[in-house]
Structure 1
């Protein structure tokens, strides 16, 4: 069964997102108004070192009032390549410049409400360049053993679904 978006109009817009109202036709021919959020792509990146430790940020999200582990991430700027944005965000937020990035996954964290796509990368090497430019985005940055990732997720210490999925995939890739 396919829903059809017949048309949509913007009801609010800023530099980060647009809220649109869509006229949706359901398979039985009925119509409904459906709000949706149009977002720019997000790029995220981390490094897994030779000791199988992953570089993570411990940060507070005021919207949900929850602390948790995350990868460095941010919005892809207009005209910026997604992989370049991932590298930029990692260095700005952690102080580590990544080596050649490898695409890990692309996820849609809430595709019933938004068209957001999160592109997640990783690298086995990085160079420390100094204190993070955007150090205000996290309370601390730490090397966390990949072997503890499933336990962190089970305890709710990785609350963002996109981050949990990425860390579990890295756990599988590196530790089997």
Structure 2
């Protein structure tokens, strides 16, 4: 059943986000005042796997006031290829340069009932250390985490970011 959008009005807009209110008609005729959050740019992330370990960053997310392990991920610049963006973000956030090939792993919309965010996630099999992370404010530490530890880290809530969990779960499938 498709919902019908009768009208929409902007509640807030800046260079990063557009928040709107939509008058949505349900198939049974009822109306909802539904919020929509549109993000400015899609994101790209990269899970680098070598020797049964994955390169992760340990970071604080101020919005939820939580710490967790995540794959490096960030915005895709206007006109930038998502695979290039994923490799760039990984290098900037970790100091490790992914070795080709960079292979598509998954495309996800983390919360399609509320926002338009799109994540393009890639994987690579190796990386070369090139120096300290360019974006040192992105994380407290960078580490090669054994894939075998991922289920326990998820259970302990040390990995909670949806795109990271989805990518790591796919990579653990034999």
TM-score class, shorter-chain normalisation, is over 0.9
Question: Partner of 1:31 in structure 2?
Answer: 31
Q: Deviations over 1:60-119 (max 9, x none)?
A: 111111111000011111221211111110010001111221111111111111011111
Question: Partner of 1:70 in structure 2?
Answer: 70
Residue ranges of structure 1 left out of the alignment (5+ in a row): none
Where does structure 1 differ by over 4 angstroms across 4 or more consecutive aligned residues? none
Q: Deviations over 1:141-176 (max 9, x none)?
A: 00001111111111111011221111111111xxx2
Question: Partner of 1:157 in structure 2?
Answer: 158
Question: Partner of 1:41 in structure 2?
Answer: 42
Q: Deviations over 1:118-155 (max 9, x none)?
A: 11111002121111100111000000011111111111
Question: Partner of 1:147 in structure 2?
Answer: 148
Question: Partner of 1:122 in structure 2?
Answer: 123
What is the Cα deviation at residue 11 of structure 1? Answer: 2.1
Question: Partner of 1:59 in structure 2?
Answer: 59
Q: Deviations over 1:5-40 (max 9, x none)?
A: 233232211111111121211101222221110012
Q: Normalising by structure 2, what TM-score?
A: 0.94
CA distance in 1, matches of 2:47, 2:156: 21
Residue ranges of structure 2 left out of the alignment (5+ in a row): none
**Superposition RMSD on alpha carbons, in Å?**
1.2
